[in-house]
Amino acid sequence: MLERNSRREFLASAATLAAATTSMALQREPVLAYVGTYSAPVGAEGAPGRGKGIYLFEMNPSTGALVERAVFPNPDNPSCLALNASGTRLYSANETAKYGGAASGSVSAYEIERPGGQLKLINTVASEGSGPCHLSLHQSGKWLFVANYHGGTSAVLPVGGNGQLGAASDVKRHEGVLGPRQATSAPPGSFAWSGHDRTHSHMIQSDPSGRFVLATDLGLDRILIWKFDASAGKLIPNEPPSVSVASGDGPRHFAFHPNGRVLYSLQEEGSTLVTFDYDGGAGQLRAKQTISSLPPGFAGTNYTSEVAVSPDARFVYAANRLHDTIAWFSIAADGTLRFLGEEPTRGDYPRYFTFDPSGRFLYSCNQRADAIVSFRVDRKTGALTHTGQYTPVGTPSFLAFLVEQKNRQP
């Protein structure tokens, strides 16, 4: 028994030392934050774009404070950002309806210059659909996926050796039967409706293995699944090619559990989280739980926005717009969720949130309040506590952290 206890104490001490070492490393290296914004009228969002492009901040790892370092002008709504694995390139989805005279938005590639994190534009290409609202990189770094919300398409763009983007290697136009205007799972008195007029590609990302690519379509109430040909950059319909959520609920974003066997899908109009078992060998999803993103007894209209699993994989967080809260849920051994609590975002319309590299802070991009608000994360309970800090940014929509390692090579 003594030997067993000694081993436990050793492992606990080792974990504590590792956490302390990580924290010290973060304090030694500058922590940068890139913020995407709406810089032009947002259209269906019903709000102007007050951002100026992509903002660069430096984070204080001790307090969580953000200090503005630079602004890189982009008048075309760089609303979503993606960093490559080495932290040498940044990509932005430019959420507009026209590019080069065609009905398409665009995607821009930037080099991250060292030291300091300044951005240098490499090139811009068509996203192959209007209103690109989400993008992500394949694990190989050779392909970029983009979801075109208003165009109802998902596209694959090749990434060259120096980070430049090429013309799309594949474009898939979403097709199928549209869901109803009224969400099945919406709370009483809800008038939430954002897009069952046509297909709306809302998020696209490869699974943890990189063998399959998933995309949500809000209008179809489906998560589409493709096999991915990583040599040719082609999307091949899986069998089955999609999985449905409750009619009218409108799947928006999803997050994989780090174990790769569970996926959480957040529905924009139904205000629900669906827990799916994920078969990574076959690329198949099986729903096993649906839970509200709102507290018990809520009535009225709400639109969800972002979902994320905590860095320690103990909690799931979800953002509610109009209700203007971030809720958190405990994760059971089988991946199912239990509502624990919620924290007001201290600003209107939290479009996106994320954790800092240490996992000790959470940042909410409050789109209509023109500010980013920070919270401390209680690692034991998952609870959020407002730091009292507000960082002014016009219509913020995305935030990506980068720990700057000054000697890092492309």
**99, 111, 113, 88: which is closest to 155 by C-alpha?**
99
DSSP, collapsed to helix, strand or coil, labels residue 120 as strand
Predicted confidence at residue 342, as pLDDT, reads 98
Predicted confidence at residue 29, as pLDDT, reads 82
pLDDT in tens, 46-71: 567 999 999 999 999 999 999 999 99
Predicted confidence at residue 48, as pLDDT, reads 79
**Helix (H) or strand (E) segment spanning residue 9:** helix 2-28
| C-alpha of 105 from chain center | 19
Question: Domain locations in the chain?
Answer: 24-68+350-372+392-401, 69-349+373-391
Those residues with Cβ within 8 angstroms of residue 158's Cβ, 6 or more apart along the chain or in another chain: 142, 143, 144, 165, 166, 167, 169, 233
Predicted confidence at residue 43, as pLDDT, reads 56
Beta-ladder partners of 216: 203, 223
Instruction: Note whether 327 and 317 are within 8 A (CB).
Output: yes
Distance CA 337, CA 114 (A): 42
DSSP, collapsed to helix, strand or coil, labels residue 31 as strand
Phi-psi region of 45 (alpha: psi -120 to 50; beta: other; left: phi over 0): alpha
- For 15, the token pair is 């974990």
**Residues present in the chain in total:** 410
- Residue recorded with tokens 């827990």: 275
- pTM of the predicted structure, to 2 decimals: 0.92
Predicted confidence at residue 62, as pLDDT, reads 95
pLDDT in tens, 231-270: 999 999 999 999 999 999 999 999 999 999 999 999 999 9
Which amino acid, 361?
A: F
Predicted confidence at residue 53, as pLDDT, reads 98
DSSP, collapsed to helix, strand or coil, labels residue 114 as coil
End-to-end CA gap in the chain = 51
Q: What is the DSSP string of 260-315?
A: SSEEEEEETTTTEEEEEEEETTTTEEEEEEEEESS-TT--S--EEEEEEE-TTSSE
Predicted confidence at residue 258, as pLDDT, reads 97
Query: Dihedral of CA 109/41/104/173: which sign?
Result: positive
Predicted confidence at residue 404, as pLDDT, reads 82
DSSP, collapsed to helix, strand or coil, labels residue 219 as coil
CA dihedral 149, 151, 154, 158 (to 10 degrees): -110
Predicted confidence at residue 28, as pLDDT, reads 66
Which amino acid, 285?
A: L
Distance CA 98, CA 40 (A): 13
Stretches in the chain below the pLDDT threshold 70:
1-28, 42-47, 406-410
Distance CA 68, CA 302 (A): 32
Predicted confidence at residue 232, as pLDDT, reads 98
2.40.110.10, 2.130.10.10, 3.60.130.10, 3.10.129.10: CATH of 69-349+373-391: 2.130.10.10
Q: 293-311: string of b/e by CB count within 10 Å (b at 16+)?
A: bbeeebeebbbbbbbbbbb
